[in-house]
Structure 1
Amino acid sequence: MATGLEGKRQNKHDVNGTQRKHPLTVDGILLDRPLNDPKGGEQFVQDAFQVILDEAIRKGTDVDEQVCEWKEPDELRALLDLDLVDAGEPSEKLLERCRDVIRYSVKTIHPRFYNQLFAGLDHHSLVGRYITETLNTSQYTYEIAPVFVLMEEVVLKKLCELIGWKNCDGLFCPGGSMSNMYAMNVARYKLFPEIKKRGLWELPRMAVFTSKESHYSVTKGAAFQGLGTDSVYMVKADERGRMIPKELEEQISIAKSKGAVPFLVNATSGTTVFGAFDPLPEIADICEKQGIWLHVDAAWGGSALLSKKHRHLLTGIERYLVNEIKERPGFRLLMEPQFVNVCFWYIPPSLQGKEDTPDFQKNLGKVAPFIKEQMVKQGTVMVGYQPHGNNVNFFRQVLVSPRVSLDDLDFFMNEIQRLGSDFQPQ
């Protein structure tokens, strides 16, 4: 690192005869020209793009490749050689590191990645990311980002039209958690605009209402904004994970009886586990009657607003999986899916016919973790699992990637059966 500037007067002319007025050196480096090599940099970018294309895009979407090449933390740490060094490294070494990063990362664009609420690859969007990262601008003024500011206006206007709103405005958020925090802040400001100047000190205690199936960012937002998690009233949901309007009314009454001021109801369109949609018309009526701001967390299910024509494409592949679950021995559906989250158990041969035994539920809860561990270590599939209420661990498959085929779903279920055949209760 540079520790100081050495104001050494150099020869008035460099090797090319160009005059320099006050050349300086830092740690022995003459600062009379750009420190990087443009041509060498361009070549590295081309080489790196080729690595990305071959290793990430092509192999990452190839069904014959692994979803992940799993290594335990200590082994992976040794393979990657992550220690920071003082000196630079040649391009060949950097490209090798690029390959390693891709090789040992999870390929979320793989057709057999079902683990999170995102998956797949859109090549055109990827190019858009390349452009925005290369330009490295910011959105706060037209001066610094004229093209992107105009694009943002057009996209927001079109989104409003697709939803059916005539007079609206909006902004893009970095994620669902921040969107919920923004909504909480806006709702609070609407009711108590003086908070911007005076803060929370002279305001009454406030109350937020959300379903027990809602995203954890609601309580996180309450803590972050100084309201406290106790200000969040959890509303009961029905067996399909939807908020119960009568329970909402009851919780509002309870909050008022404690002297709290209701200011926000957070409804959910597409819950994390079940993909459930809260009954928005009934909830909206309650909010209108009570004078409470209604926010809809549609980070997962909001896309259903955008297409009446093409949603059946996802629904079709989802129904295929549901029908297979109903027909295959050992598979048991938790509930009929409302969205593209398909939740189910697999009962391996070692547990079949023992459903009435005392340890059945305990052992069933170990099946999904057992199978997933084998899947990840072998790199064949990634899928989530979790318990919910009185329900022991079940698989939660999210069908969102456009690359998923019926063959992939067949492979997925066959893989569960193959790996599950080795499960033995303890």
Structure 2
Amino acid sequence: MGIILEDAVKKATDVREKVCEWRSPEELKELLDLELRDQGESESKILKRCRDAIRYSVKTTHPRFFNQLFAGMEPYSLVASFITETLKTSLYTYEMAPVFTLIEDAVLRKMMEMIGWEEGGDGIFNAGGSMSNMYAMNLARYRYYPDIKELGLSAAPQLAVFTSQESHYSISKAAALMGIGTKNVHMVPTDKRGKMIPSALEEQIESAKRKGAVPFLVNATAGTTVFGAFDPIDKIGEICEKHNLWLHVDACWGGGALMSKKHKYLLKGIEKANSVAWNPHKMLMTCLQCSAFLIRDKTHLLQHCHSARASYLFQQDKFYDVSYDIGDKSIQCSRKPDAFKFWLTWKALGTKELGQRVDRAFEMSRYLAEEIKKREGFRLLMEPEYANVCFWYIPPSLRNLPDGPEFCQKLHNVAPVIKERMMKMGSMMVGYQPHGGNANFFRMVVISPQVSRQDLDFVLDEIHNLGKDL
């Protein structure tokens, strides 16, 4: 415990320490001594293994970690994680997890309230946003073709799913896993900011119908992975109502904006959704994993769709109200009490402070964008809508080149080299990617309240220092 608190909490959140002590895979294999042997090791060696695991891991709680859609240290959530791991329970029945069953229900109800479902609904925490999106696809299909549960794919026609070009890849993965097929996932064009174009959606729905397919699900994204774009849920919802389609909103990243009175307008119309995926482990900083899947339906659709009625778990003659045995709603059997991590944080901070955290993330991302516009050699890809800030760094050697193929080709090589150098230095961690014909650019995600303006200034200074000779 002392090692964890000193090395994985105190040092990992200290801006003076490295984000990562980088080693190549072959070097790390030697350092860690990964081989499993017949005989166990001494306590001193095991403690060294613990220290090494922490030492050579990426410190995502570091104030200069900006690489993913999660970051920062949330102390209350960390304490909750310790407790749930220590108690080592599972959420399939009330008798196994009486406290956590009630806590999950309370958290889901409050999240539904934030979405705007005044009459409530149903939901479940699960192993990640990708699984939440799969739940949505499975439930939507079951609502239209319930016989598919027993008869299989022969009980359904050729189905069509609609999602934006900027949506998460898990939509296509879910279609592949469920036998719908990736070619039956229709990618709807987006505007220059990465938002789904409603008129294009309706055209694709009508086109699919003419070709004999049966549209059944539209996935709208609230906070795309790269640009942080929010699809116009309100207009998409109207189209879904018109064509009797299930509207799912992937708000895994952008759902946090619902906590902010100032910024929840970004999700206008989300109350029309049939289902929502929302990951508190992202903007709201809960420890991984913490992913909620919520549905507006109150007819026990989750239960009917996934129930297998295992007699050794879900006996109907128990001494308590068996409606609290929620495991049969889930695809999983064992399920961790992840809601506790969010509940304890929410109890400690309150809705108001969680909203202020979201507001601060917006303010900090705007500060970063303004600094980028002021600095020579930096170019903003677009004004940020959320906490994603996308930009290029142009070394002095390229600044006199006109925009064109040669410039783009050379610029494309800049970000990967700077990323390599920052990883080996261990000074910070920022992601990059190409996108839509654009040369590689940096994508910084500003989330953690532990991040200061000085940290953001440092990042821009460090990118220049690491790349000015290219």
TM-score after normalising by structure 1: 0.87
1:170 aligns with 2:123: yes
What are the equivalent positions in structure 2 for 1:326-365 lying under 5 Å apart?
Answer: 326-356=373-403, 358-365=405-412
Q: 1:108 is matched with which residue?
A: 60
Is 1:411–2:458 an aligned residue pair? yes
* Contact persistence 2:360–2:449 (CA under 8 A): no
The CA deviation at 1:357 is 6.0
Structure 2 residues without counterparts, runs of 5 or longer: 262-354
CA contact (8 A) 2:145 2:155 kept: no
Pair 1:64-2:64 in alignment: no
**Whose Rg is larger?**
1
Aligned equivalent of 2:145:
192
Q: Which residue does the alignment assign to 1:90?
A: 42
Q: 1:129 aligns with which of 64, 77, 81?
A: 81
Query: In structure 2, how many angstroms separate the alpha carbons of the residues matched to 1:356 and 1:385?
Result: 20
Aligned residue for 2:217, secondary structure, equals: strand
Is the 1:163–1:306 contact (alpha carbons within 8 Å) kept by the matching residues of 2? no
Of residues 336, 361, 377, the one that matches 1:314 is: 361
How big is the shift at 1:260?
A: 0.6
The Cα of 1:332 is off from its aligned counterpart by 0.3
TM score, norm. by length of structure 2: 0.79
What is the rounded CA distance, in whole Å, between the counterparts of 1:293 and 1:163 in structure 2? 17
The alignment status of 1:244 with 2:191, answered yes or no, reads: no
Mapped partners of 1:155, 1:213: distance in 2: 29
Unaligned runs of 5+ in 1: 1-48
Whole-angstrom distance in 1 between the partners of 2:184 and 2:127: 25
Alpha-carbon distance in structure 1 between the residues aligned to 2:404 and 2:208: 44
The one-character-per-residue Cα deviations of 1:95-131 (angstroms, maximum 9, x if unpaired) are: 1100000000000000000011110011111111111
Which amino acid is the alignment partner of residue 28 of structure 2?
L
Structure 2 counterpart of 1:421, one-letter code? K
| SS of equivalent to 1:78 | helix
Residue correspondence of structure 1 range 264-413 to structure 2 within 5 A? 264-308=217-261, 309-310=355-356, 311-356=358-403, 358-413=405-460
Give the Cα–Cα distance (whole angstroms) in 2 for the partners of residues 358 and 281 of structure 1: 39
After TM superposition, give the deviation of residue 202 of structure 1 in Å: 3.3
Q: Is the 8 A contact 2:162 2:188 kept in 1?
A: yes
How far, CA to CA, are the matches of 2:155 and 2:201 in structure 1? 27
Q: Deviations over 1:321-354 (max 9, x none)?
A: 0110000001000000110000000111111111
How far the C-alpha of 1:164 sits from its partner, in A, is 2.1
In the TM superposition, what is the alpha-carbon distance from 1:160 to its structure 2 partner?
Answer: 1.6
The letter for the 2-side match of 1:235 is: V
Aligned pairs for 1:128-147 within 5 A: 128-147=80-99
Aligned residues: 375
| Alpha-carbon separation, structure 2, partners of 1:327 and 1:232 | 42
Q: Which residue of 2 aligns with 1:18?
A: none
Distance, in Å, in 2 between the alignment partners of 1:250 and 1:349 is 46
Let me know the Cα RMSD of the aligned residues.
Answer: 1.0
User: What residue number does 1:253 align with?
Assistant: 206
Deviations, residues 60-86 of structure 1 (Å, cap 9, x unaligned): 000000000000111110011101111
Aligned AA (1:102): I
CA displacement at 1:356 relative to structure 2: 4.0
Q: Alignment partner for residue 174 of structure 2, among 221, 242, 245?
A: 221
Structure 2: how far apart are the matches of 1:165 and 1:202? 32
1:171 counterpart SS class: strand
Runs of 4+ deviating beyond 2 Å: 355-358
2:71 corresponds to: 119
